[in-house]
Amino acid sequence: MSSRPFRSDVNFVVRIGGEAGDGVISCGELFAQAAARTEYHVFTYITYPSEIRGGFSMVQIRIRDWTIYSMGSRVDYLVVFNQESYDKTISGLREGGMVIYDPDTVTPEPSETTRFFAVPLTKLARESGISGPGKNVIALGALGHLFDIDPVVLKKLIRDRFRHKGDAVVERNIKAVETGYEAGKACGWGQRFRLKADPDAKASYMMLSGNEAVALGAIAAGCRFVAGYPITPATPIFETLCRLMPKVGGKAVQMEDEIASISAIVGAAFAGEKVLTPTSGPGLQLMGEQINLASMLELPVVIVNVQRGGPSTGLPTKTEQSDLKFAIYGTAGESPRVVLAPSTVEDCFYQTIRAFNIAEIFQVPVVVLTDQSIGYRKATVRIPDFERFHFMPFHDLIEDNPVIPNPAHIDVVSRLEPTSEELADYKRFRITDSGISPISRPGTPGGQYLATGLEHTEKGHPDYTPENHQAMTSKRFRKIEVLSNLLEKNPREYYGSPEARIGIIGWGSTEGAIREARYLAEQEGVLVRHLHPKIVLPMADRRIRYFLAELKHVIVVEENYTGQFAHFIRARFGIRPIEVHKCQGLPITPREILAAILNVARISDEQSITRL
Amino acid sequence: MSRASQDYKSAVKPIWCPGCGNYGAMKALTQAFLDLDIAPESIALVSGIGCSGRMSHFFNTYSLHGTHGRAVPTALGVKAARPDLTVLAVGGDGDGLSIGGGHISHAARKNTDITYLLLDNRIYGLTKGQASPTTDFGHKTKTSPFGVDELPMDALPAFIVYDATFVARSSTVHVAELTELLKAAILHKGFSILHILTPCVTYPVFDARTLKAALQPLPEDHDRKDKMAAIVRGYSTSPVFTGIFFRTEKPTLEERLERQAQPFAPERSGDELDMLRKVLYDFS
Ligand SMILES: Cc1ncc(C[n+]2csc(CCOP(=O)(O)OP(=O)(O)O)c2C)c(N)n1
């Protein structure tokens, strides 16, 4: 049995909960940032209500001395600002865990297995005249003491964070941090870890949310035109790009709605730019017709859909993986598109670059599916090695270059333009073996053409003849076939032992939780093979069949009610997976997945026994 | 280099009915390009869906025939990305006032430097004669068998209220006037709307003769900066005025985007990777 050591000296989870408006999130973010500037890895998970004020808000921070794959299953340290957050989260505390609470607002239930520490946040805030919202910075100071973070580091963070609000605010918050630190000292809890500042951390790591990683990936890929309309939880992508586009010589425009946003990027793509629009489910729905247009016009556009919970306005601030079917099948008529699903914060960066490359090479719309949990989660991400960046024009296909950017090799590809010979009798939609035809940039003499959503000839002229529609449909889909064949050459996307008879398939943000569940299962002697395709449409069929080949049971894990990916896998590969669905607006945890694996393993064993 | 009207003509044959007013618009637009000596390759012509939406097919330009109602935001994207191009949007009254009506006020507010030709035949032509937002009260169509029971929309005063920086009206029955107005609209820096009355011969709401009789150029002394006068004259139905109703200057979307990027220009002078490095290190 090949069991992977799953042990680590520093590996703990801190959860901070309170009323929205208490500053819980910024307390958690500052703490995470302090931790990120040490030698450790950091991974956060944030959930908040959709109302601006009121409601339960929480941030969870996991700190570990090597790569973190998920938010973790159990909480080691719980910081609660009010009774509601105590009531809602205490069940997640592990045995022997610690609770830090405000005695003015929380009455904890006595427990033998829990250590309680009262830090009078409200009272201290009142006494020092900092007023309500200062509670969060007091809590930060207390946590700073608990984890032995140098007060100098904390004060620097405060200064960076509040500088734009003026000296008075900075001073008040510094005082609050000091007050909190002293209050922590008075608790006599005994410091557990030394989170010592590591000067190298800043030189080699960024602390990014998935949404920020998408924005930076777009910039790295050469995206210079963005149009968008705010929608939770995709807004931070747009906000980040609005701030950064002018810096890189690009443009960001806020439009009146999603239809206008995607129309504008279709126009800008036609004009020759690399383009993106960020949105969430309801916005993606509105964009449907224009996605089809881009597909017919064979224009490269990237749409990032940060999934949220529920249909309609549903659970706007919660996570879910439920737009998959719409992304894959949501089209009038048949129009090729590609759907990617990044699996970690770091992956958001690389898959966004890949989305642009695929869009540019194959001249198709690419939908990137992330979700609230990955979009708002923050993690330490290694700054890419700039020596590894290669900017290249369209290169003669791709034969052996599957164009997956990764930390070791970052290709940035741009579309194929016509040569002067080709311009002499320019056929924008020339039927080629690969289906890809050169695309001319406005301003190029002789490159003028008609791009129409009507079925058209190689020249772009409308043509509804039966032969032409069949030939053109085939041309457009051939690009996808070429991509799909290319994917077969990609490095394998599954992990785990070849001897395993239980397979687990997931997509998107659940990768880390599944990976941890696999390690935990292996510790219990159950071998699991894990497949996590990053490109969910099209898929590398032969590789997936190979993955499935010797498995006895396949589990598909996803955060939705109807099992959308399982449905897709079933239709495509003719297997009957065991479906594990979580539909609570919350990310699935490693232990929830482990339970499913162990269950299947037990059934599997029972079956073996009866067969004996 | 001298160009001929032929240079602007594409190989696609117009699908319009014989006698369609749209031919007049096509002729005027060709003449305007010719007079302004704009190279065909630096023109982007974006159109919506409808008979009028086919306009982009017939020009040897970078032509985009998109979806119903979305010509204006699509053209906005083209122009914002590539301010060096001459960008036009074309659509019908259904396209621009019904399905796509919501976009016009925003394009006006942003003052994107495009020229929008709204070809108003007061009917849905391509779907064969249903009522449009500008069909006359009482007019019987297939979707208003008992006569339209809503009052028609007065688009032109609305465009002025939207603060479009150039609002003009003309018709396809006066090609020379239309040509001059098109030239002025294209030269105008900012969002220019040209409301073009055009008779539909197959599903007529009005015919060329009635139209000619109703039209009258704006008085010589019409003050193009006077918004109120423009609105009042815009509402007038007898006569129906033509000419430039309102014109003003405002920074364009493209200028504002350029201005935003300007302060960072020195930082961008290094190579692409350097720039990227700076952006990423900001997050460390
Ligand atoms: C989303 C969508 N809805 C409806 C249609 C059908 N449709 C095509 S043309 C048209 C009306 C066009 O009328 P108008 O804009 O007045 O242009 P005209 O044909 O009169 O020039 C409609 C409703 C469509 N193509 N797309």
Over the stretch B88-146, which tens digit does the pLDDT of each residue have?
999 999 999 999 999 999 999 999 999 999 999 999 999 999 999 999 999 999 999 99
Predicted local distance difference test score (pLDDT) of residue A402: 55
Q: Which residue of B has its CA nearest to A446?
A: B41
So what's the pLDDT on residue A4?
36
Q: Is residue A423 classed exposed, middle or buried when 0-12, 13-18 and 19+ CB atoms within 10 A define those classes?
A: middle
Name the residue facing B279 among A247, A265, A453 (closest C-beta): A247
Question: What's the average model confidence in pLDDT over A476-505?
Answer: 90
- Model pLDDT for residues B171-195, shown as the tens digit of each residue: 999 999 999 999 999 999 999 999 9
pLDDT at A333: 96
| pLDDT score recorded for residue A401 | 61
- Put the strands of the sheet holding A225-228 in their side by side order: A251-254, A225-228, A275-279, A301-307, A365-371, A338-340, A535-537
* Distance in angstroms (rounded) separating the CA atoms of residues A156 and A163: 10
Residue A606 has pLDDT above 80, yes or no: no
The chain-wide mean pLDDT, for chain A, equals 90
* Nearest residue in chain B measured CA to CA from A288: B67
pLDDT at A400: 59
Q: How far apart are CA A436 and CA A431, in angstroms?
A: 8
A400-450 confidence digits (pLDDT tens): 565 566 777 788 889 999 999 999 999 999 999 999 999 999 999 999 999
Residues of B in contact with A259 (CB under 8 A): 70, 73
In the numeric block, which tokens belong to residue A402?
Answer: 């599957």
Check pLDDT > 80 for residue A131. Answer: no
Supply the DSSP symbol for A456: B
CA A304/CA A322 separation, integer angstroms: 14
Q: Are A16 and A59 in contact (CB under 8 A)?
A: yes
Helix axes B71-81, B101-110, angle to 10 degrees: 30
pLDDT higher at A473 or A611: A473
pLDDT of residue A609: 62
Supply φ then ψ for residue A394, to 5 degrees: -50, 125
More confident residue, A143 or A191: A143
Residue B158's contacts (CB-CB under 8 Å, 6 or more residues apart) are none
CA proximity to A586, closest of A163, A88, A109: A88
pLDDT at A54 over 70: no
* Distance (Å) of CA B85 to CA A504, B76, B77, B80, B262: 52, 11, 12, 10, 20
pLDDT tens, residue by residue, A250-308: 999 999 999 999 999 999 999 999 999 999 999 999 999 999 999 999 999 999 999 99
Cα–Cα separations (whole angstroms), residue A114 to A111, A309, B162: 6, 33, 64
What mean pLDDT is predicted for residues A332-360?
95
Q: Is the peptide bond before A5 cis (omega within 30 degrees of 0)?
A: no
Q: Which amino acid appears at position B235 of this protein? A: Y
Give the Cα separation of B7 and B33 in Å (integer): 10
Q: In what order do the strands lie in the sheet with B192-197?
A: A450-452, B62-65, B43-47, B86-92, B115-120, B192-197, B166-171, B240-247, B215-217
| Of the listed ranges A218-222, A368-372, A537-541, the one predicted with least confidence | A537-541
Residue with the smallest CA separation from ligand 1 atom 4 is B68
The conformational region for residue A298 under phi > 0 = left, psi -120 to 50 = alpha, else beta, is left
Tell me whether B187 touches chain A (CB under 8 Å): no
Q: Using H for helix, E for strand and C for coil, what is the string for A214-248?
A: HHHHHHHHCCCEEEECCCCCCHHHHHHHHHHHHHH
- Minimum Cα–Cα distance from A264: chain B residue: B77
Determine the pLDDT at residue A1: 32
Would you state the pLDDT for residue A68? 87
Q: Is the pLDDT of residue A313 over 60?
A: yes
- DSSP-derived letter for residue B44 is E
Model pLDDT, residue A2: 35
Cα angle A26, A309, A565 (rounded to 5 degrees) comes to 125
Cα of B128 to ligand 1 centre, how many Å? Answer: 9
Residue A130 in this model has a pLDDT that exceeds 70: no
Long-range contacts made by residues A8-11, C-beta under 8 angstroms, separation at least 24? A8/A64, A8/A65, A8/A66, A9/A65, A10/A40, A10/A63, A10/A64, A10/A65, A10/A193, A11/A62, A11/A63, A11/A64, A11/A65
* Contact flag A450-B56 (C-beta cutoff 8 Å): yes
Cα distance between residue B107 and residue B101, in whole Å: 11
Buried/exposed A42-70: b ≥16 CB within 10 Å, e otherwise:
bbbbbbbbeeeeeebbbbbbbbbeeebbb
Percent of chain A with pLDDT over 90: 67
Q: Say if strands A450-452 and A365-371 run parallel, antiparallel, or are unpaired.
A: unpaired
Chain B from 18 to 77: CB within 8 A of any A CB: 39-42, 44, 46, 56-57, 60-67, 70, 73-77
Taking CB atoms and an 8 Å cutoff, what residues of chain A touch B268?
247-249
Q: In terms of DSSP bridges, do strands B166-171 and B240-247 run parallel, antiparallel, or are they unpaired?
A: antiparallel
How far is ligand 1, taken at its centre, from the CA of residue A439, in Å? 29
CA A467/CA A463 separation, integer angstroms:
10
Taking residue A433's Cβ as centre, other Cβ atoms within 10 Å add up to 9
- Cα separation, A158 vs A178, in Å, equals 11
Contact A496, A471 (CB under 8 A): no
Q: Which of B12, B64, B113 to mutate to test the interface with A (most CBs of A within 10 A)?
A: B64
Residues with CB under 6 A from ligand 1: B 49-52, 68, 91-95, 119, 121, 123-127, 132
Q: Do A344 and A512 contact (CB within 8 A), yes or no?
A: yes
ipTM of the complex: 0.98
From the alpha carbon of B93, which atom of ligand 1 is closest?
16
Task: Report the residue from B56, B70, B79 with minimal CB separation from A263.
Answer: B70
Average pLDDT estimate for A186-214: 85
Question: Within a 10 A sphere around the Cβ of A164, how many other Cβ atoms?
Answer: 8
Average pLDDT over residues A530-558: 93
Distance CA A72, CA A80 (A): 19
Q: Which residue has the tokens 């998107």?
A: A508
Q: What predicted TM-score, i.e. pTM, was given to this entire model? A: 0.93
**B94 Cα–ligand 1 center, Å:** 6
Tell me the residue length of chain B: 284
Going by alpha carbons, the residue nearest to atom 5 of ligand 1 is B68
pLDDT of residue A397 exceeding 60:
no
Q: What is the reported pLDDT for A53?
A: 64
Mean pLDDT throughout A537-543? 91
Decide if A342 contacts A3 (C-beta within 8 A): no
DSSP string, A281-348: HHHHHHHHHHHHHHHHHT--EEEEEEE-BSSTT-BTTS-----HHHHHH--SS----EEE---SHHHH
Low-confidence ranges of chain B (pLDDT < 70): 1
pLDDT computed for residue A199 by the predictor = 76
What is residue A137's predicted lDDT score, i.e. its pLDDT? Answer: 93
